[in-house]
Amino acid sequence: MEKTLLFRLFLGTAERKSIGCGKCLHAHIIKAGLWADTFLSNSTVNMYAKCGHLPDASAAFDEMLSRDVVSWNSLINSYSHLGAAGAPFVLDLFRWMRTEPIIPNAFTFAGVFTAASYVGDGFAGRESHCIAVKTGSCGDVFVGSSLLTMYCKLGLLSDARKVFDNMSQRNSVSWAAMISGYAAEKRGTEAFVMFKLMLARGESDVNEFALTSVLSALYLPEYLDKGRQVHGLAIKNGLSSFVPVGNSLVTLYAKCERMDDSLSVFDETSEDADRKNSITWSAVITGYSQNGHSDKALELFSKMHSAGVQPSEFTFVGVLNACADRMVLLHGKEAHGYLLKLGFELQVYIKSALVHMYAQCGCIDEARRAFDQLHHEADVVLWSTMIGGHVQNGDHEEALALYGRMERQSISPNDLTLASVLKACSNLAALEQGKQVHARVLKYGFRSAIPVGSALSTMYAKCGSLEDCRLVFQRMPSKDIVAWNSIIAGFSHNGRGEDALELFEEMKLGGTEPDHVTFVNLLCACSHMGLVEKGWFFFRLMQDEYGLVAKVEHYACMVDILSRAGLVENAKEFIESVPIDHGTSLWRILLAACRDRRSVDTGAYAGERLLELGTQDSSAYILLSNIYAALNRWDDVERVRRTMRERGVNKDPGCSWIEFKSGVHVFVSRELLHPQIKEIKEQVRRLTKHMRLEGYQTCNHLHSFHEEIIQEPANEEEEFQLIESCVS
């Protein structure tokens, strides 16, 4: 009688999580000499475990005089409920259990299989599976479902399917686990087929778990029709009102790029406040953000706040990405402050979103501060985001340095990391570093797939290695429009315009539709080759046949084509007829062309238009001033220079670099900070003497339209200019 009473007291204590009362009961059974009773000692271990005091539960377990399978199960399942943190302890306990003459049962294996899936230990999972077979436990549907879930979480779908097919009995958990396994591996078709098989066999009723599992698998636009069928089934069975199902439907339509349908499902859930939680809000906000509707995402976030719903960390990821897309720094900082208040800042995916937002908004120092707080994390997304941020903001040397640090810390890059690093090499024209990264691409097994293939092709093209560019392109298993644009641009910008046009014809034969970027590259090719009529052909083809509206870039290319051909008056008339706002870009192109063609009248007109538009480009003022000086219009020279001073326009220092012996040497105008500057100056003096003796002449366009004879520098100022000309 006393044992039954004590058992009930232990159960009540565990239910109330009253650890104080539990310890008193523990003391009582020891004092009463009842500790040797396995039934009561099991109750003690279970009480400590249910109260969350696992060290005390382990201590009580160690002190037990005799243990049965219930004793082991109490501790194994308690640690199993801790997830990844408790999984190693579960496996250690199971190995210890096997040294004693106790046969594990279904509850034991459920905890062990769960732990094996958390630690990703396929060997321990298979070993436990063998023991379950040996003890005859696999016939239990509970064990079979746990085993199936383990193999699915380990990504061993073939093993999972074998377990599923051999199960003598299946329940809703079994079917949902198998469908979820396919969903997790992005195998939507198989998941949908499995769902249909479940309905056909009638072994399990349609429930919210099976629905959410199959909906999560239908994540691409091509699965939209299947998703609609599942949605209809959910409505038919009265399950669309369940919050997890509603959330899955919102996510489904968002991932299938049908935001109207996603919002419709979201609004249906909003009719009942209890049916809409932070996950529902996060799903629709993230959906709008990922589909390019950032303004709508921020609007919904504001409504979420007004509705009194506390956002989750996933909500903030969508919001920060929306701020990055719109480059609204103020909103991004407000979201940053809010997530700080809620304690989310140290989440790795939040940090990645913060780094991306600040980098996208041009605040690279803020992005780096956010990164440095978690730089010890071996999270490839975080590192890739920071490297991409440096590249986007033109800090290519720092991007390469950060990638080197990432390699030293043994963090394996992904395809986006390598694409960003290759872009940095492209912009620095650092061919040797680019080749080293190419070797890394091969080492990590990315080969030439998109986007790495496109980045490799671009890198070789920008470094002038066109044969390597073509070779990489030919080896790409599939080619999208980005890949075609990369190689067409490479040949176009390296003076191989005919090859660029041939590639365009090859692209059309392959069935790839050109986009705006394609025609920019084609027009550039025509410009370099002086093909005015061909340029007009592509300009009209873009609009008439492909329905692409011309952008500023296309008009700029046409102005360049006309200007390079010496048709500056035609270029001027063309600019006057452009129907869109182009700011100062087209007039700048014409002004530079007039400088090269000595068309002073048209150049003066273009320069005056630039002044009217308030340009901040220093070269425009300098060129216009020189044009007026060549015409002896000194009052206009003074007016242009005065305007430049009043507007605070300064000439940015020129910068050039050269790759030499695995290093990049950078030279900035009017700086003599290079460590080998003495040797450079000595070479400049030697070259100057040879140039003067041979009567070498050059033309300095930035100062005059007249040719000047370069003479030996008589002072430091002239030496500055000569060094700049030698390293540029």
DSSP state of 615: -
Ranking 158-172, 220-234, 445-459 by mean pLDDT, the lowest is 445-459
578-587 per-position pLDDT tens digit: 999 888 889 8
593-622 per-position pLDDT tens digit: 887 667 788 888 888 888 888 888 888 888
Residue 550 forms part of a structural domain: yes
Give the pair of three-digit tokens for residue 547. Answer: 């329905």
Residue 703 pLDDT > 70: no
Residue 480 forms part of a structural domain: yes
Confidence of residue 274 (pLDDT cuts 50, 70, 90): low
- Looking at residue 601, its pLDDT comes to 84
Domain check: are 557 and 667 in the same one?
no
- Pairing of β 663-668 and β 655-660: antiparallel
Instruction: For 617-673, give the secondary structure using H, E and C.
Output: CHHHHHHHHHHHHHCCCHHHHHHHHHHHHHCCCCCCCCEEEEEECCEEEEEECCCCC
- Looking at residue 270, its pLDDT comes to 56
365, 371, 311: which is closest to 341 by C-alpha?
Answer: 311
Percent of the chain with pLDDT over 70: 93
Q: Quick check: 621 and 644 in contact, CB under 8 A?
A: yes
Which of 552, 582, 612 is the endpoint of a domain?
582
Q: Taking residues 123-142, what's their average pLDDT?
A: 90
Residue 702 pLDDT > 50: no
Domain check: are 427 and 552 in the same one?
yes
340-350 per-position pLDDT tens digit: 999 998 888 89
Q: Quick check: 417 and 384 in contact, CB under 8 A?
A: yes
Residue 366 forms part of a structural domain: no
- Looking at residue 556, its pLDDT comes to 93
- Which helix (H) or strand (E) is 708 found in, with range? strand 708-709
Domain check: are 529 and 434 in the same one?
yes
Dihedral over alpha carbons 275, 281, 287, 290 (to 10 degrees): -160
Ramachandran angles phi, psi of 39, nearest 5°: -60, -45
Domain check: are 559 and 474 in the same one?
yes
355-398 per-position pLDDT tens digit: 999 999 999 999 999 898 877 777 899 999 999 999 999 999 99
Q: Taking residues 265-279, what's their average pLDDT?
A: 71
Domain check: are 571 and 679 in the same one?
no
**Rounded distance, CA 251 to CA 258, Å?**
10
Which of 582, 609, 637 is the endpoint of a domain?
582
The CATH number of residue 536's host domain is 1.25.40.10
186-229 per-position pLDDT tens digit: 899 999 999 999 999 887 788 889 999 999 999 889 999 999 99
Domain check: are 473 and 569 in the same one?
yes
Ranking 36-50, 159-173, 646-660 by mean pLDDT, the lowest is 646-660
Environment class of residue 31 by beta-carbon count within 10 Å: exposed (0-12), middle (13-18) or buried (19+)?
exposed
Contacts for 427 with CB less than 8 Å, ≥ 6 apart: 391, 394, 396, 462
**Rounded distance, CA 188 to CA 50, Å?**
39
Q: What is the pTM of this model?
A: 0.71
Q: Which residue has the higher pLDDT, 596 or 63?
A: 63
Domain containing residue 473: 413-582
Ranking 188-192, 498-502, 564-568 by mean pLDDT, the lowest is 564-568
Confidence of residue 697 (pLDDT cuts 50, 70, 90): low
Contacts for 612 with CB less than 8 Å, ≥ 6 apart: none
Residue 54 forms part of a structural domain: no
Residue 232 forms part of a structural domain: no
Confidence of residue 275 (pLDDT cuts 50, 70, 90): low
Which of 542, 561, 582 is the endpoint of a domain?
582
- Looking at residue 636, its pLDDT comes to 86
- Looking at residue 348, its pLDDT comes to 87
Give the pair of three-digit tokens for residue 407. Answer: 């390699």
Domain check: are 572 and 671 in the same one?
no
Q: Quick check: 568 and 602 in contact, CB under 8 A?
A: yes
Residue 660 forms part of a structural domain: yes
**Rounded distance, CA 373 to CA 413, Å?**
20
Residue 410 pLDDT > 60: yes
Residue 444 pLDDT > 90: no
Residue 222 forms part of a structural domain: no
- Looking at residue 716, its pLDDT comes to 46
DSSP state of 697: E
Q: Taking residues 685-701, what's their average pLDDT?
A: 73
DSSP state of 83: G
- Looking at residue 376, its pLDDT comes to 77
Tally the domains of the chain.
2
97, 90, 177: which is closest to 125 by C-alpha?
Answer: 90
Domain check: are 552 and 660 in the same one?
no
Q: Quick check: 452 and 413 in contact, CB under 8 A?
A: no
Domain check: are 577 and 659 in the same one?
no
Q: Taking residues 69-81, what's their average pLDDT?
A: 91
Domain check: are 466 and 569 in the same one?
yes
Q: How many CA atoms lie within 13 A of 66 on its CB side?
A: 7
Mean pLDDT value across the chain: 87
Q: Quick check: 149 and 123 in contact, CB under 8 A?
A: no
Dihedral over alpha carbons 303, 238, 172, 205 (to 10 degrees): -170
Q: Taking residues 61-74, what's their average pLDDT?
A: 91
Domain check: are 477 and 570 in the same one?
yes
Q: Put residue 719 in one of left, alpha, beta given phi > 0 → left and psi -120 to 50 → alpha.
A: alpha
Domain check: are 569 and 660 in the same one?
no
Residue 453 forms part of a structural domain: yes
